[in-house]
Amino acid sequence: MNRVGLQYLAGDLSGGNARCIAMLQAFQEAIRDYSTPPEKTLTRDLTSKIGGFVSFLIECRPLSMSMGNAIRFLKSRIARLPLTLSESEAKTTLCSDIDRFINEKIVLADKVILRHAAAKIRDGDVLLTYGSSCVVEMILLYAHELGKQFRVVVVDSHPMLEGQKLLRRLVVKGLSCIYTQLNAISYVMHEVTRVFLGASSIFSNGTVYSMVGTASVAMVAHAFRVPVLVCCEAYKFHERVQLDSICFNELGDPDAISKVPGRVDVNFLDNLTDKQKENLELLNLKYDATPSDYISVIVTDYGMIPPTSVPVIVREYRKEYLLI
Amino acid sequence: MGAQKKGATARVSEDPEELARHPLQAILLADSFTTKFRPITLERPKVLLPLVNIPMINYTLAWLESAGVEEVFVFCCAHSKQVIDYLESSEWSSQPNFSVTTIESHNSISAGDALRLIYERNVIHGDFVLISGDTVSNMSLTQALQEHKDRRKKDANAIMTMVVKQSKPSPITQQSRLGTDELFMAINPVTKQLLYYEDKAEYSKGFISLDKTLIADNPSVILHNDKQDCYIDICSQEVLSLFTDNFDYQHLRRHFVKGLLVDDIMGYKIFTHEIHSSYAARIDNFRSYDTISKDIIQRWTYPFVPDVLCGSSAIKVERQGTYRASDVTLSRSAQFGSFTFIGQGTKIGTDTKISHSVIGERCTIGSNVTIEGSYIWNNVTIEDGCQLRNAIVCDGVILKSGAVLQPGVILSFKVVVGQQFVVPAYSKVSLLQQPTQQDSDEELEYADSTSGTGELRSDKLNGDIAPDLSETASELGTGGVGYIWTVFEGAYDEEWRHSVAPIPTDKLVKLMLDKDEDEELLTQDGNVISASRELKTDSDGNGSEDDDNEDSRDDYVSFEKEVEATFLRAVHENVKVDLAVLEVNALRLSYNMASVDCGGAIFYSMMKLAVESPHNSASELHRNAADIVTTWQKLLKSFLHDIDEEIEVILKFEEMCLESAKEFAALFPQILHLLYDKEILQEDAILRWADEKEGADESDKVFLKRSEKFIQWLREAEEEEDDEDE
């Protein structure tokens, strides 16, 4: 558990799915090591234990929506354990439940999304993606394997520059790519035929909550009449409604935006006095919210749906995962 | 101001302040003194050949100007008239703060001669930049110059700074992407002093020899094979006088640099300056012509890119890295792919496909033509249905309809290729006949690497050109004009190395196989250099299908190391057995090993741990081993699924006792018994092992004999069991 938390803190683990899987696996381990103290019931005590872990993780880095969903799933499973089960039986059921969640909701869901999205890629397309989303990467590689002829525009932004990682993997596989920064988006959007975006979460009003910059990409694409496809597993859907990106967000390290790595000549913000610093706020937002107007379709494991259908999925899906 | 200063002090004053006030000078050699660009260079000097439609020398001059050089001496030898005429008519003659002076010579046959002549003229007054006219760069000289000057202040013998750049040569062909040979340099990592330079290492031998004093005299030396020489040198005045003193120095690198490195009487030193983000490369052969053209089109050389350099003449960059002049006539159905340049006044017909190519000015291209990766210069006519792949087509060439140029073809000026004629791969075609008489000499000279042919070339220019049309017609199809140059015996095999065409894959495969054989031979000799080890792993990464023993054994060794590390980590960090099993399994998959190998490797690491943990006597060692085996038996067991695998473990153990852990030799039967007790080894496995060993050599049976008693006991136990069963 500590290891996972520290990995979050160091930024070694990033990407919604990777973080979620790591967390669930850590829970699995914790459950295996767990033994109920005398005079307590497993259900109650384990739930409070998990609560402790979660607050530790939150200290390391705020949870994403998808992780919140996963935790809720786990807690509901614990609560619904039949009291008749012995401790070891209960533990094995929980572990297999977690395995099933990872498998069905993440791994298999990604595979289904691949199929759906790849059907939307035609020969001669120019696809734009922003940052580095693992499901978009899988889609691009899958379509490439299918032998479709297309080009990729990878748009990236400071300070994470995650797009470079994606770019490297794509170029190695032999896709022809264009790499550019977010500020050149209006120039490249002319030639783009489709935009593929990943998402951290999707709210029930259809708002896509994703890496900061996604909203601008979607808006520019909308202005250029380019369809925007958001690829997101259904477990990341959330019943919350959010209208702007400020009221709930995560703040990154302010130093990350005041300095440019590898460029010592960019040092205009160094050596400010405390007095001067009082007048300065470094705002390093991690996420932003894209209104549903700018999104053409959401590709999920339940198929391709318009953003207006998200509440339906949330409703049905909730029911379903209580049934698991 | 600068000029006055120069007049006042004819010689360099020792005062560094004075030195600094000299205008920065450069010597540009407008002749490469090689024959690699033949037959094109028979008619036009190399520096005037268009590189993405702009003469090469323009790139060099533009860079020198931007780098703060104020005075350039252009040394012309072959076709000097053409170079001088060009420079006079170009914008370079009328720049305010940048003077270009030409120095003409007709009898220089090498860079050495050129520098001697410049020394005689007495025009260089301080540090200068030495560069050849075919270098493309965008680096900033400020830092390199400063380093050079600082070093000079401390040590007057530091007379030259060479610019180098990271560039990994291909492990298969042992040449860089510029088509030059793999270069070995030994550099002192602290002072950056160059200690060794070898660009013609003999691969066949597979090793290079360093002078042992080199290691003895320097606290640390790094031997690089991944650096590229940019042929940009910052030199002090002494360099010129050195050339005069040593009148046999011809080649800048092979004679001058190596001469200085070997000569310890004068104690002159050469230093290196490595550039990281900026670009510098020299066009040495057709391969580098191709590579650098692509780099320019992809704008790595910014700001020296066609649309900036051309300035007013309106070349626009469009999407996907295409460059198009303003008045190109492009048919609606023509496909104009990425990274393509089309010059002014060019007409392109219907359904023509062009990609990754450069097309010069005023060309006429018919319909249904395919052009891929080719360089087409000015005023070329290509009729309908032609196909060009990776070719260079010079000015005024005419390709009649249906002609095909296979990869690597060079068509020199004004050649005509007849209808439907297929020009075979790697052929060089010229209106001039191949110089026959000097050939043998020249090849020798080339091997000696002086290879100066300036005189020869100017003779040719003077005009014993006699294109006998009737005779040549047959060589290039009906209506064709030109001679196909024959390739020298033996040289044909090397033709692909420096060609514009990418290296064919079958060649690569063949080379790779050859290399493996070589390496096997080397291993047998026990002579493998460490560098080749690294190269080896790279070539595996390239997806080779070579899966010979050598390879898999190496893989096994590294796999074993990994397993050992994993196991030790598991022991020290108390990792769960399940997790350890998982980790080892992952390793097994990534190294593509069988579970037999895993069992062996784990057992090996367990025993090694036992040996390494402190012990005084054999019994203590036995106890150590027993402890470890008890704790980790589950891990080991999970990789031993059948008897064969268990036998493998026994064999492994035997090998260990003989080689790495002799201390176990005495304990062999005890450990065997232990493994049996812990149910790691079944009795069947042990008995089968014993049976197998029965027939082996006497020397192999040492351990069998030692454990005879135990085996005897096993056999009896088995019989008893059998009896009971009955």
Enumerate residues 6+ apart whose C-beta is below 8 A from B511: B172, B173
Higher pLDDT, B536 or A271: A271
Alpha helices in B155-233 (DSSP H): 212-217
Enumerate residues 6+ apart whose C-beta is below 8 A from A70: A20, A23, A24, A101, A235
pLDDT at B451 over 70: no
**What pLDDT is recorded for position B6?**
40
Higher pLDDT, A173 or B212: A173
DSSP-assigned states of every residue in B313-362: G-EEEEGGGEEEETT-EE-TT-EE-SS-EE-TT-EE-TT-EEES-EE-TT
Q: How confident is the model at residue B554 (pLDDT cuts 50, 70, 90)?
A: low
Higher pLDDT, B614 or B246: B246
Q: How confident is the model at residue A320 (pLDDT cuts 50, 70, 90)?
A: low
The share of chain A scoring above pLDDT 90, in percent, equals 43
Question: Any CB–CB contact under 8 A between A149 and chain B?
Answer: no
CB pair distance less than 8 Å for B319 and A176: no
Residue range A159-182, pLDDT digits in tens = 888 899 999 999 999 999 999 999
Mutate which of B142, B319, B578 to test chain A, going by most A C-beta atoms within 10 A?
Answer: B319
Per CATH, the number for A1-109 is 1.20.120
Higher pLDDT, A248 or A149: A149
Q: Is B104 helix (H, G, I), strand (E, B) or coil?
A: strand
> Mean pLDDT of all residues in chain A?
87
pLDDT at B448 over 50: no
Residue range A284-296, pLDDT digits in tens = 888 999 999 999 9
pLDDT at B675 over 90: no
Alpha-carbon distance of B33 to B251, in angstroms, equals: 9
| Residue A177 tokens, joined | 């790519």
Contact assessment for residue A236 and residue A203, using Cβ atoms and an 8 Å cutoff: no
Alpha-carbon distance of A31 to A28, in angstroms, equals: 5
pLDDT at B665 over 90: no
pLDDT at B67 over 60: yes
For residue B295, is it left (φ>0), alpha (ψ between -120 and 50) or beta? alpha
How open is the CA angle A239-A242-A243, to the nearest 5 degrees? 145
Nearest Cα of chain B lies from the Cα of A69 at a distance, in angstroms, of 27
pLDDT at B715 over 70: yes
Enumerate the β-bridge partners of residue A228. Answer: A195
Domains, chain B, ordered by start: 139-278+523-541 (no CATH), 311-432+467-487 (2.160.10.10), 553-725 (1.25.40.180)
Residue range B314-359, pLDDT digits in tens = 788 888 888 888 888 888 898 888 889 998 889 999 999 999 999 9
pLDDT at A29 over 60: yes
Alpha helices in B180-328 (DSSP H): 212-217, 238-245, 258-262, 286-297, 306-309
Alpha-carbon distance of B352 to B367, in angstroms, equals: 5
**What pLDDT is recorded for position B292?**
92
Alpha-carbon distance of B408 to B431, in angstroms, equals: 18
Q: Does domain A121-248+285-322 have CATH number 3.30.70.1400?
A: no
Question: Any CB–CB contact under 8 A between B319 and chain A?
Answer: yes
Residue in A with minimal Cα distance to B298:
A178
Residue range B283-319, pLDDT digits in tens = 888 889 999 999 999 888 888 888 888 766 678 888 8
Residue in A with minimal Cα distance to B578:
A29
The share of chain B scoring above pLDDT 90, in percent, equals 15
**What pLDDT is recorded for position B529?**
40
Q: Is B57 helix (H, G, I), strand (E, B) or coil?
A: helix
Higher pLDDT, B70 or B681: B70
**What pLDDT is recorded for position B458?**
38
Which helix (DSSP H) or strand (DSSP E) does residue B76 occupy?
A: strand B71-76
Q: How confident is the model at residue B517 (pLDDT cuts 50, 70, 90)?
A: low
Alpha-carbon distance of A214 to A131, in angstroms, equals: 9
Nearest Cα of chain A lies from the Cα of B597 at a distance, in angstroms, of 29
Chain B hits for A191, Cβ within 8 Å: 319-320
Residue range B651-663, pLDDT digits in tens = 777 777 777 666 6
pLDDT at B447 over 60: no
Q: How confident is the model at residue B444 (pLDDT cuts 50, 70, 90)?
A: very low
| Residue B144 tokens, joined | 């390199």
Question: What's the average model confidence in pLDDT over A4-31?
Answer: 82
pLDDT at B17 over 60: no
Contact assessment for residue A196 and residue A127, using Cβ atoms and an 8 Å cutoff: yes
pLDDT at A268 over 90: no
Enumerate residues 6+ apart whose C-beta is below 8 A from B557: none
**What pLDDT is recorded for position B610?**
76
Residue in B with minimal Cα distance to A151:
B320
Contact assessment for residue B138 and residue B63, using Cβ atoms and an 8 Å cutoff: yes
CA B438 centroid distance within chain? 32
Question: Any CB–CB contact under 8 A between A308 and chain B?
Answer: no
Chain A hits for B320, Cβ within 8 Å: 178, 191
Chain A hits for B573, Cβ within 8 Å: none
Quote the ipTM score: 0.75
b/e burial code for range A64-87 (CB count within 10 A of at least 16 → b): bbbbbbbbebbbebbeebeeeeee
Nearest Cα of chain A lies from the Cα of B227 at a distance, in angstroms, of 22
* Burial of B280 (C-beta count, 10 Å sphere; 0-12/13-18/19+): buried
Residue in B with minimal Cα distance to A179:
B320
CB pair distance less than 8 Å for A191 and B338: no
Question: What's the average model confidence in pLDDT over B450-473?
Answer: 40
Alpha-carbon distance of B134 to B45, in angstroms, equals: 11
| Residue B341 tokens, joined | 């340049």
CA A260 centroid distance within chain? 25
Domain boundaries defined on chain A: 1-109, 121-248+285-322
Residue in A with minimal Cα distance to B542:
A172
- The Cβ of residue B288 has, within 10 Å, a number of other Cβ atoms equal to 23
**What pLDDT is recorded for position A173?**
93
pLDDT at B457 over 60: no
Question: Any CB–CB contact under 8 A between B276 and chain A?
Answer: no
Alpha-carbon distance of B242 to B262, in angstroms, equals: 14
Alpha-carbon distance of B293 to B304, in angstroms, equals: 12
Nearest Cα of chain A lies from the Cα of B320 at a distance, in angstroms, of 8
DSSP-assigned states of every residue in B119-167: HHHT---S-EEEEETTEEE---HHHHHHHHHHHHHH-TTEEEEEEEEE-
Chain B hits for A125, Cβ within 8 Å: none
pLDDT at A143 over 90: yes
| Pairs of residues, one from chain A and one from chain B, whose beta carbons lie less than 8 Å apart | 5
Chain B hits for A190, Cβ within 8 Å: 319
Question: What's the average model confidence in pLDDT over B546-562?
Answer: 62
Alpha-carbon distance of A314 to A165, in angstroms, equals: 32
Question: Any CB–CB contact under 8 A between A191 and chain B?
Answer: yes
Q: How confident is the model at residue B553 (pLDDT cuts 50, 70, 90)?
A: low
Mutate which of A152, A172, A177, A178 to test chain B, going by most B C-beta atoms within 10 A?
Answer: A178
Higher pLDDT, B650 or B130: B130
